[in-house]
Amino acid sequence: MFAVLCGAVGTAAGAPGDWPAYGGDWASRHYAPLAQINAANVAKLEVAWVWESPDNAKVGENPALTPWMFKSSPLAIDGTLYINTSLGYVAAIDGATGAEIWRFDTGTWIAGRPTNLGFNHRGVSHWTDGETARLLVTTNDAKLWSLDVRTGKPDMAFGEAGRVDLTRGLGREIDPKQYSVIGPPAIVGDVAVVGSSIFDGPRTREMPPGHVRGYDVRSGEQRWIFHTIPQAGEAGVETWEEDAWRHSGNTNVWTTMSVDSEAGYVYLPVGTPTNDWYGGHRLGDNVFAESLVCVDGATGKRVWHFQMVHHGLWDYDLPAAPNLVDIVVDGEPIKAVAQVSKQGFVYVFNRLTGEPVWPIMERAVPQSTVPGERASPTQPFPTKPAPFEEQGFSDATLINFTPELKAAAQAIAAKYDYGPLYTPPSLKGTIQLPGWGGGANWGGAGFDPDTGFLYVPSITSPMVVQLQATQEGAEFRYQRSRGVNNIAGPERLPLTKPPYARITAIDLNTGEHVWMAPHGEGIRDTLIGRGIEDPGPVGGWGGTGPLVTKTLLFFGHGGDQPPLLRAFDKATGAVTQALALPARPTATPISYLADGKQFIAVAAGGGDDAKLLALALP
């Protein structure tokens, strides 16, 4: 752990009723202090307006451009919503009526299908100094745009004609086809902090590095770079043995970031190095991979860091922006940061010093049997809070609705290696639980400042990782077999016991779980149809991230029919209301005020039918 002094800078906050940052605020709490919509009237919510994404017409012209889900969460500022689309359009929308105010086409789609998940983006960012206001927009073709909030036109004083090429300034030449950006910039003072999405299936050791950079919001000048892969002479470079730092890439922040605007700190959730499953070419702990890194937003200098996974072999990227929370533990007020993870942990630190709020212990873990690999002998395990997901795979994890189903599940599992959390990939194939989708993922967690409760959505998703030898002369000695990935249970049922998706409420003042509720009906009807006693809701795929309001907890869910917006009692996890939606919710909902009225907005659909839905009381 390393300390650096940092001067404070300011970031403008939104007015009551605004949603000025992707996570509601730069603390990423996903919280709106609004109470017009409450348990007594939530059943009356109805669709107030629908905005059709301009992507739909473009896909109609050229189906090759078809995106996946519409994942963007809008900003809400003074009653106006600002959103970007999967293909790179940016729009301002009247928050009360849904009328489009302006639209700008970044031309992202012209460059063709981007790396990894294709056309895929999460949102935009807002900056103002009280006089000038800009939207800072990253794109799949690796540009950073500055748009005038009033008109949507590019700021011609920013970069070159309003944009900056993010493939430049990384310290080495890269292949632009392997480099994209899917998360909104973090805004700290007059700096926009930008991460990246990098091709996740490399065939070569040398990939674009995931270094994080800060840009001047007025000029577009690159102000600083933080090397997520340390360079010569920098702290941590010794953890990349045999000079692996020279060729290694990825180690990027593909998700969103958080900002302590008072301290001027930015919190970087960093991902896995090249490649996700085999690290014989990058022996050592590989700092700052799979670490939470706190940097000074003005300079990019590291303040502190904590590595959650040493020498990662499981694709356990930190998947979401950490929640910045103020809690009281044993009578002591703490400015804390809580980071959820794919492996089902919540790591809680003093966000100014990096000291763990509760002890985090290094514990021995299974070792690799793959030639040339050297797994870390230990990994960090938080002592509090308890895990919010199943960790590791065993006989106790298997589906057990009937003795016959359990016996069939045992026969499937016997084909592979498996064991506790951090059992490494093998040549036989290892059942990994959680898999690469989590546990937690990019929807992140929500926080209620009134109670100190953290609400974590997660899924139980085992997968098989099997390594195979590469051809002679290949840069990786081993790589993941594409023929083995997701693993199904007997009779097309899941391999593991339910719930398959859940919401866990954790009191961060005590570190204790308060409640856990399955998220969605899941395969409940299928099980009943097979003669199995009604298990109740078992949870299903397709849930969104959380929206916490003064009165209720909301999650969208597309895995059930019809698609729903569910309202939960924050104290108990009981479902207060399930509201049918006209399309599958695909992004984290927000709440805001327009003309004095509370709305809930959520992106829905995808492909050629993407839209933004707004709900309100009649």
Residue 226 in tokens: 């933080």
CA–CA distance, 151 with 133 (Å, rounded to integer) = 11
**Is the distance from CB of 382 to CB of 372 less than 8 angstroms?**
no
* pLDDT exceeds 90 at position 8: no
Average pLDDT over residues 113-123: 94
User: What is the tens place of the pLDDT at every residue in 430-474?
Assistant: 999 999 999 999 999 999 999 999 999 999 999 999 999 998 888
CA–CA distance, 344 with 390 (Å, rounded to integer) = 7
Any idea what the Cα angle at residue 414 is, between residues 413 and 419, rounded to 5°?
Answer: 70
The overall average pLDDT reported for the chain is 95
CA–CA distance, 185 with 192 (Å, rounded to integer) = 6
Report in angstroms the alpha-carbon separations of 228 from 221, 264, 271, 335: 20, 19, 9, 25
* pLDDT exceeds 90 at position 323: yes
**Is the distance from CB of 20 to CB of 261 less than 8 angstroms?**
no
Average pLDDT over residues 392-404: 95
Buried (b) or exposed (e) across 144-157, using 16+ Cβ within 10 A?
Answer: bbbbbbeebebbee
DSSP single-letter state for residue 135: E
Buried (b) or exposed (e) across 479-489, using 16+ Cβ within 10 A?
Answer: bbbeebeebeb
Residue 128 in tokens: 């103002």
pLDDT given at position 415: 96
DSSP E strands in 4-99: the ranges are 31-32, 46-52, 75-77, 80-84, 89-94
What does R_g of the chain's alpha carbons equal in angstroms? 23
- The helix (H) or strand (E) run that includes residue 283 is none
Average pLDDT over residues 248-264: 98
pLDDT given at position 14: 66
Q: Which of 559, 558, 560 is nearest to 602 (CA)?
A: 558
Buried (b) or exposed (e) across 43-62, using 16+ Cβ within 10 A?
Answer: eebeebbebebbbbebbeee
pLDDT tier for residue 2 given thresholds of 50, 70 and 90? very low
* pLDDT exceeds 90 at position 572: yes
CA–CA distance, 304 with 295 (Å, rounded to integer) = 7
**Is the distance from CB of 245 to CB of 229 less than 8 angstroms?**
yes
**Is the distance from CB of 616 to CB of 48 less than 8 angstroms?**
yes
User: What is the tens place of the pLDDT at every residue in 195-250?
Assistant: 999 999 898 899 999 999 999 999 999 999 999 999 999 999 999 999 999 999 99
Q: What percent of the chain has pLDDT over 70?
A: 97
Report in angstroms the alpha-carbon separations of 78 from 123, 155, 508: 18, 21, 32
CA–CA distance, 589 with 140 (Å, rounded to integer) = 22
Q: Which of 497, 546, 545, 485 is nearest to 522 (CA)?
A: 497
* pLDDT exceeds 90 at position 11: no
pLDDT given at position 10: 33
pLDDT given at position 4: 32
User: What is the tens place of the pLDDT at every residue in 276-287?
Assistant: 999 999 999 999
Beta bridge partners of 197: 180
DSSP E strands in 451-518: the ranges are 453-459, 463-465, 467-469, 478-480, 501-507, 512-518
Beta bridge partners of 591: 600
Report in angstroms the alpha-carbon separations of 9 from 137, 207, 351, 382: 22, 34, 16, 32
AA identity, residue 372: G
**Is the distance from CB of 121 to CB of 91 less than 8 angstroms?**
no
The counts of H helices and E strands in the chain are 3, 40
pLDDT given at position 13: 57
Pairing of strands 75-77, 80-84: antiparallel
User: What is the tens place of the pLDDT at every residue in 38-59?
Assistant: 999 999 999 999 999 999 999 9
* pLDDT exceeds 80 at position 9: no
Starting from the edge strand earliest in sequence, which strands make up the sheet with 265-269, in order?
Answer: 258-260, 265-269, 291-296, 302-307
Report in angstroms the alpha-carbon separations of 45 from 41, 599, 612: 7, 9, 16
Beta bridge partners of 448: 453
Half-sphere exposure of 585 (CA within 13 A, CB side): 30
pLDDT given at position 392: 98
385 backbone dihedrals φ, ψ, rounded to 5°: -65, 165
* pLDDT exceeds 80 at position 484: no
Q: CA 172, 174, 179, 183: dihedral to nearest 10 degrees?
A: 20
3-state SS, residue 20: coil
Q: Which of 361, 211, 384 is nearest to 293 (CA)?
A: 211
AA identity, residue 75: L
- The helix (H) or strand (E) run that includes residue 410 is helix 403-413
